[in-house]
Structure 1
């Protein structure tokens, strides 16, 4: 993450990862505004570039070649990336309402979410048609359709509703790809048939006559059945009906028309047009609210209406960024006038394309496709090949402050800070941030979080022993809500690994200096995530301490209760037991790569999903299958924790490298030499491996030293119980659980660990 001494004064929140917003992120990355923080809210980590999507469908591009990695781009821009979906805007309190996380406050807001198919207007379409928009969710739908087509036997008919540029280009791309797939599998490609429907009387109505004629000729030559002047009136399973009274038997129906704004925009109070798109002025500010901007397909710039095309969203990126920048520092946004004509490059699926501009210019051929390919690749290179950025050492800048009090707080935030109790976060800020938290209540908690006392009071039920542990670490991602979840889950791990139930937790947090409203939100977001995890575990948050510091950090002291006869300890390994690991490893190398913009966003998504998964049910399952030895795999890595277990148990162990579950991308980043800063300390434990020189070139070798955050459980169970235990763990939601080795008698060698492939 980019670090800065500049306190946050203004929050710009971007809803959606469309073409305009990726331009905003890149522009702010190259020229940040002191005191202005960007937050991107998007449900998908990889956003497609619409210009290359038909080429991807046709099989000419890989997924990564035509998708922008928003995780890396946000990291590059110093922006927070919240992987969630906006479902509302509370304009009165200036907060974005999200589907799965706390509301996100904003000072300025921009919406770039594309359009949504209005399939509900046609009976059956929402259940039986595949919407192409929003395009950021299209890949999953396309892969599912591709799989169905590849496994289909006999004739197959595919219908596309919408004969504009998008529908025509998609039809030809799909036809090219599927016919090639059929040939590759020894199937007759002529079993495929394609139908194109539109209520309009002509193809590509916004393009010139030569373009329309060229595509009409191509479609006919490719035996695509064209049904113009046929409005679709209903879709059933396997059937499509039109207003002409005809019914068509179709195995798949794709919807590329009648797009509009999402329903939730209607509850925002923003002025919308008849299609549900946001009405905007020439500055890209909404007609209703100067603090809210919109761009791309979702915006209707009322003085300059234009076709819904990616070229306009791309061109709106720079003026949108400039006007957000101006508004953030109190300047008046400037008007923007889009071009009246634009270069349209439409492919025919087979590396052939047609170019046009306005009513006069027209070209076609394979050279046009190569031209288009060059333009598209050049565009993608700007966002996927990000240059190294120099760290900024600028002095505090209060240009974004909107009043003298904010400027004073900002100067104070980076001046010489008090130590000791003077470094605590103010009580008013803290009480507001924590006031909405609702930790669970337990009968054995006599004095808890919301009591005025300075310490919690707990009772220990008869027959129980107390387990006590503490963990603390700095943030490794820019999302305080997700960080709070991971920190709480990590801290609970030691309690669960011993077979205990969590009782209470006390938090210790460090929050970066800043003005009160920003500090309050960070504390609230972080502790909301943490309390959700603690509550799910039945663990009551009973108190804590929050202080100021350079970096966001969080930890917990956790109390647990355990039956003294049911303790799983590191010293319980028995010869003949099987070693079970419940989660994949690789978080250390992946997040080291993340800070260097060398990790795919989807790899980080998968790693975070693993890190917020609780070990509670896994520990209970291991106990049921006779586990006596268990530990959570954290900072010392898989090998370090296994060595820790062998020593008190007076046994040796064998690890099967090929059986160890590994997070997606971890082998790639480790092979590139991108390793955690803790790796050198962990790798000293190689002296515990017999014949270790033999294994140093194995792709899994560096990963057994990889430090984990909120890792899985490493446990031993009797050999005759291992298979059933693994099956139940997988059914409980730990799908990568595996037997990764076995416990052996202690041998003569001083090294306790043997590796095998």
Structure 2
């Protein structure tokens, strides 16, 4: 795993979470390349293993059985995980364009995105067919399809499913679907009929003819119809037409398992592509016309060794790809990979029965399915059972190919670093990094980044008061853009909680030392995310300070404006009010677990989505509904911040443990004893709970002390308006908003908080 103190000399960017890249991450996690930073960009956090998808559809496997957790795997490998979609490459500038974030620079690029459905040539297919590929994102499409098929149609005529594609993928899908739907259907449900369409004259045209004939017998026995030797020419909402005879077939759902091509965005890259849009690569797995770009799996075509698009080749290409990425950055000769001429094909029939084929070898039976199941489970286990890694040697001991200028910068970066102002990030690096940022402009900012000076100058409108707050912390996530958004959102929370309008922000950032180009790129990513959040809040970035340090860190001093008569303080709680919480808790335990590879990637995704959700609209809503006290739940945890409010207000509070919203996975990780390093300090506040002895065994009890980052707002709202307030907050996007307790007059007991469950 790459250490935070290690100088980044080269960036390898992996586009797509296919099987080859999963193997690369595992291998580089076991033996990292010192001085090289890995970044994985993928739309999905969990990527399905194609070999197990038919079993998943048939109902033999769970979601986690069949999916590789890419975020967890990247954390193991010391790689950055960017959840986004690539939409282009600028090869001249060596940057990758993403749909939702700033462009990312690379020294070496590898593409393993799989293929995309080529439905544009068939009328209506883009609008009415459900593509099986790309397999990332497949689970959402499958869930929607399953819901539509099992919606409880009243008709006695069969629900018609058309599977377009009579290769192994289409036939296996049809059999798995039939098994799953047959096992779910009761006597009153609508029957299902499946038809497989193929333009070739036989089933499984790329397999030995004997295998195709045996699968024809299976389809006949199972009552699955197949129409061969004619291409599909048109797809409509409920029908499908073929070109050869012009016949029309009923099709309530059309699944597209054929005519795949390369992603459309590859067409604008200037890479050498074949006639289907796949990247043409050599035996070294490099692009024919750009040696800095590698490609594997379905998205690539080996010019000297053409092979069918099958997952087995993507898996086999993973090891040579990892070897060549290492050799490329170390300026060594590359390994030439030659795929096998014959390969083992294991094709299931949906009912725990399978066929095996390799060359002239052909076998079938339940034992073949058990063999396939063993192979598939062993493959998935490679990426779920991750060992603990030891410290790795320093980058200076390794042969990373650098230019003379880069070598000078690297020597400077590892030299004894100065303190004081000598620890600042260089002015030219800083100016280049922020030159393309466009902070929001405000009339009350008299001197700011638009005309930099020794300090910012702001005016305060008559009758308004100044609200000031500061927050700063080190990065807890490997994505500087997302970290920038969270840090800015967290810093704004105090301003919003008091009912103020954010006016200006001054940044304080710590950036690990390194090559100027790497420092500049990191700073640009970091501040792009932050400025995006600040601008959305109408808050002008007016200046800041950036210095060198061992770890990435960011914070903001925020100025806000408020009418002094409308300030929401912690001390405004009143007896009879209801307590509202606008976001779920659990970020502390989840990110502690993430660092220990004990959290699922989708749990971290959900936590980050909560953390980047601004509380600005929530604060306005709370004020409209009569809130008299408010605070944002952050480092002291839910209980710590509630104690502050009850103490300042002179009231008692009752919390309903069962109603407190919790992020997915937080109960599981806290139950394992994986807690934030701040938890012990927060637990000292347990004396504020009047009935803590009875509450210790409740599963949610530890989360009362869990420190939050960019947490929700905790507010006291009159009981007669709380229902309308909660409903409006949910409409505004705060879906987890709930009443978690009520406020009472101060009693005789010293502990002001009691728990109900």
Tell me whether 208-217 or 487-496 shows the greater mean CA deviation.
208-217
**C-alpha distance in 1, partners of 2:189/2:585?**
45
Displacement, 1:684? 0.9
Moved over 2 A (4+): 1-6, 186-189, 391-398
List aligned pairs for 1:76-475, cutoff 5 A.
Answer: 76-153=76-153, 154=155, 155-183=158-186, 186-188=187-189, 191-243=191-243, 244-358=245-359, 360-394=360-394, 396-397=396-397, 399-475=399-475
List aligned pairs for 1:517-666, cutoff 5 A.
Answer: 517-666=517-666
Displacement, 1:2? 4.8
Displacement, 1:375? 0.3
Q: 1:434 to 1:398 in 2, by over 3 A?
A: farther
Residues 715-738 of structure 1 show CA distances to partners (whole Å, capped at 9, x for unaligned) of 010000000000000001111100
TM-score normalised according to structure 2 size: 0.98
Tell me whether 394-403 or 372-381 shows the greater mean CA deviation.
394-403
SS of the equivalent of 1:396 reads helix
**C-alpha distance in 1, partners of 2:532/2:353?**
53
Displacement, 1:398? 5.2
SS of the equivalent of 1:617 reads helix
**C-alpha distance in 2, partners of 1:74/1:395?**
20
Say if 2:34 and 2:395, in contact at 8 Å, map to a contact too. Answer: no
Displacement, 1:230? 2.4
**C-alpha distance in 2, partners of 1:151/1:747?**
55
Displacement, 1:210? 2.3
Residues 220-272 of structure 1 show CA distances to partners (whole Å, capped at 9, x for unaligned) of 00000110012111111111111121111111110000000111101000010
Q: 1:557 to 1:188 in 2, by over 3 A?
A: closer
Displacement, 1:429? 0.4
Residues 68-109 of structure 1 show CA distances to partners (whole Å, capped at 9, x for unaligned) of 000000000001111000000000100001000000000000
**C-alpha distance in 2, partners of 1:396/1:699?**
48
Displacement, 1:452? 3.1
- Size of the alignment, in residue pairs? 753
Displacement, 1:15? 0.4
Tell me whether 290-299 or 391-400 shows the greater mean CA deviation.
391-400
Say if 1:447 and 1:456, in contact at 8 Å, map to a contact too. Answer: yes
Say if 2:569 and 2:630, in contact at 8 Å, map to a contact too. Answer: yes
Say if 1:5 and 1:414, in contact at 8 Å, map to a contact too. Answer: no
Unaligned runs of 5+ in 1: none
Whether 1:738 aligns to 2:738 is: yes
Residues 285-306 of structure 1 show CA distances to partners (whole Å, capped at 9, x for unaligned) of 0011010010000000100000
Residue in 1 aligned with 2:722?
722
Residues 538-573 of structure 1 show CA distances to partners (whole Å, capped at 9, x for unaligned) of 000000000000000000000000011111100000
Unaligned runs of 5+ in 2: none
Q: 1:724 to 1:188 in 2, by over 3 A?
A: closer
**C-alpha distance in 2, partners of 1:658/1:393?**
49
SS of the equivalent of 2:340 reads coil
Residues 298-327 of structure 1 show CA distances to partners (whole Å, capped at 9, x for unaligned) of 000100000100000000001111111111
Say if 1:578 and 1:743, in contact at 8 Å, map to a contact too. Answer: yes
**C-alpha distance in 1, partners of 2:555/2:131?**
44
Displacement, 1:410? 1.8
SS of the equivalent of 2:68 reads strand
Say if 2:467 and 2:561, in contact at 8 Å, map to a contact too. Answer: yes
Residues 325-369 of structure 1 show CA distances to partners (whole Å, capped at 9, x for unaligned) of 1111112322110000100000000000000002x1011000000
Residue in 2 aligned with 1:690?
690
**C-alpha distance in 2, partners of 1:128/1:413?**
56
Displacement, 1:192? 1.0
Tell me whether 257-266 or 325-334 shows the greater mean CA deviation.
325-334
Tell me whether 694-703 or 2-11 shows the greater mean CA deviation.
2-11
Say if 1:484 and 1:530, in contact at 8 Å, map to a contact too. Answer: yes
SS of the equivalent of 1:136 reads coil
Say if 2:447 and 2:458, in contact at 8 Å, map to a contact too. Answer: yes
Say if 2:469 and 2:495, in contact at 8 Å, map to a contact too. Answer: yes
Say if 1:162 and 1:198, in contact at 8 Å, map to a contact too. Answer: yes
**C-alpha distance in 2, partners of 1:164/1:344?**
12
Say if 2:2 and 2:37, in contact at 8 Å, map to a contact too. Answer: no
Say if 1:4 and 1:393, in contact at 8 Å, map to a contact too. Answer: no
Residues 594-644 of structure 1 show CA distances to partners (whole Å, capped at 9, x for unaligned) of 001111101100000000000000000000001110000000000000000
**C-alpha distance in 2, partners of 1:477/1:352?**
44
**C-alpha distance in 1, partners of 2:60/2:373?**
10
**C-alpha distance in 1, partners of 2:283/2:393?**
36
Say if 1:34 and 1:399, in contact at 8 Å, map to a contact too. Answer: no
Displacement, 1:208? 1.1
